[in-house]
Amino acid sequence: MSRKIKITFLSVVLICGLCGATAAFSLPIYTGVDMGYVRVSPEIFGETSSGGGLEITPYIGISPISSLPDLSFELDLALSFPSLSYSYPFIPGDPNRTLSSMTQFYIVSPQLFAVYTVDKWFIKPFAGVGIGCNINNCDNTNGMDLSNSFSFAAKAGAKVFIPRTSIFLGGAIKFNLNQSETELAFEDIDLNLNAWSFNVSFGYKFK
């Protein structure tokens, strides 16, 4: 079983467990999955590289304050798999001698959001901010070892409910702050893996 499949499976199990625990306390809850494209554009040795890939984000939200029903607290588990091609010096300090590399990243970002939704309209816009962490891993041939990092995220989008059901569909744009560190070509570098995500969403709201 590949690493990507293992991470996705464990994430789904975690979200399902949280759904069951929250439902036991009879809180207003919703759950769903975002799927889409994530893009990263780090600067490596003065050159901006760009890449992207799949992102899957299972999530669960609760609205625990009865006087503020439009405010929810949401636990997201973003699974990002961007790939990136870049060049780096073959001889340290010599920009004219370079090698090219392709790296596949595996980034797991558990995040806790505060989300406000305008629930009174048919199209329900929402916006939220969150904090968490980024667990950064990669597969490559040059020994790159990424550090984990603090995550600050913000997202905005909208959703609509299918008439006479509790199923909703939607879309969102999200930014995730991810400032990692690594050693590459005998140099310590800051690797800016800040990511923009463009997702479609589907989910279910428990009445």
Q: DSSP letters of the chain?
A: --HHHHHHHHHHHHHHHHHHHHHHTT--EEEEEEEEEEEE--EETTEE--EEEEEEEEEEEE---TT-TTEEEEEEEEEEEEEEEEEEEEETTEEEEEEEEEEEEEEEEEEEEEEEE-TTSSSEEEEEEEEEEEEEEEE-SS---PPPEEEEEEEEEEEEEPTTSSEEEEEEEEEE--EEEEEETTEEEEEE--EEEEEEEEEEEE-
User: Over the stretch 110-138, which tens digit does the pLDDT of each residue have?
Assistant: 999 999 999 889 999 999 999 999 988 88
User: Over the stretch 6-55, which tens digit does the pLDDT of each residue have?
Assistant: 555 565 666 566 555 555 456 788 999 999 999 887 766 556 667 889 99
Integer Cα distance of 39 and 105 in angstroms: 12
CATH code at 51?
2.40.160.20
> Burial level of 122, CB count in 10 A (0-12/13-18/19+)?
exposed
More confident residue, 85 or 147: 147
Task: Of 147, 154, 153, give the one whose Cα is nearest residue 179.
Answer: 147
| 70 C-beta neighbours (distance < 10 Å), count | 14
Number of domains in the chain: 1
| Cα 128 to chain centroid, rounded | 14
Range of the domain at 28: 3-206
Which of 30-34, 193-197, 199-203 is least confident? 193-197
What is the per-residue pLDDT for 1? 46
Q: DSSP letters of 86-116?
A: EEEEEETTEEEEEEEEEEEEEEEEEEEEEEE
Give the dihedral sign, CA 155/109/161/21: negative
